[in-house]
Chains A and B, each alone.
Chain A
């Protein structure tokens, strides 16, 4: 796969909960393409379908219609085991809080997807240490989550989302429980990771954090809002990032 191929593609994706008269459309149809190295922020009022979109992108949920491709792989063609493998190797999640297993150290938390994938203990530890170094937490690797501040916990979660071969981070309000300085620190690190070639989709209600993204998309009633007549693609508020 060449390095410019999209890491994530959503093609006319719809998610409907329930059936018949009580069916509720939670999302869609929406389309979204995320290129390598791109940081995309999704904003919108609550209930607009932001989290649903993220769950679909990460193979945690299945679309009612449409196609989701991660790293070129069509999720609909994958077995449960293959989807689990995809979650180990390609996609990392960061949630608002409680991202870490309290029984594992920071390093072990970061190494978890690699170990689940069968990597040897030594190699997994090495990769985890490198990933923690990238979020400037090398010195806290042996701490347990409850010995870390909220901001540090989120940074560990970011490190885990990008550990080893993982190239796509999906974050649902990752800064929601943080004070503004810690939140900004997280965004800075996320931005740096994307500038290094990895990709992230960020759901947030905080515009100051969304502003770190290359693109900010606005979701309303399950659809992206068209920003205006001059927008080249739906809801692209500002394409490309300044070099």
Chain B
């Protein structure tokens, strides 16, 4: 769903061909989510079917097909930007499922699972922080913002783990 809207957003800025779409998407998300060209074309085909984009008339200078956004496409894009992102129902989270099942099964090593997960998450957090340390806040602002988002996500995971630990120890206490 987000790839669809992302391509619409890029096309809204200016008409672009397939490879250009892939390059621009990866550039503005700092390469965090690589896109393969096949996926770009499939998505474009669906967008065209729904009347949100259309091929530009072929010019002399190049063989590659350039795409542009339709009025209906602009309308849907506007709706997407305007509506908040809501994860409802929540995305399936492997970590959460793992912990919940361990608790349900009353496994004795839940704490060990939490500890291992925390170690791994902290390591990821350190890694992200090191990348942030090296990032240039002037020229790489999108990259920095993305790192912040990932850091806070990891942090939320750690907070959740701490809460799990606290609740488990409370359950153990009389």
Q: Which residues of A does B touch, CB under 8 Å?
A: 45, 188, 191, 206-208, 210-213, 216, 218, 225-228, 231, 237-238, 241-242
What is the CA–CA distance of A231 and B165 in the complex, to the nearest angstrom? Answer: 21
CA distance A191 to B132 in the complex (A): 12
Q: Does B122 contact A (CB under 8 A)?
A: yes
Nearest 9 pairs of A and B residues by beta carbon:
A227-B119, A211-B129, A211-B125, A207-B158, A211-B126, A237-B119, A238-B123, A208-B155, A216-B122
Task: Give residues 140-174 of B contacting A (CB, 8 Å).
Answer: 151-152, 154-155, 158-159, 162, 165-166
- The prevalent SS among residues of B at the interface is helix
Q: Cα distance A153–B155 when bound, in Å?
A: 26
Contact partner, B133, options A188, A231, A237, Cβ 8 Å: A188
The interface of chain B, by Cβ under 8 A from chain A, is 115-116, 118-119, 122-123, 125-126, 128-130, 133, 151-152, 154-155, 158-159, 162, 165-166
Task: Please give the distance in Å from A238's CB to the nearest CB on chain B.
Answer: 5
Is the beta-carbon distance between A211 and B151 smaller than 8 angstroms? yes
| Chain A residues with CB under 8 A of B155 | 206-208
Q: Which of B119, B129, B162 contacts A228 (CB 8 A)?
A: B119
The one of B118, B128, B159, B165 in contact with A211, judged by C-beta atoms closer than 8 angstroms, is B128
Contact of B151 (CB < 8 Å), options: A188, A208, A216, A226: A208
The interface residues of chain B lying within 8 Å CB-to-CB of A242 are 130
B109 to chain A: closest CB distance in Å?
Answer: 12
B154 contacts A207, C-beta separation under 8 Å: yes
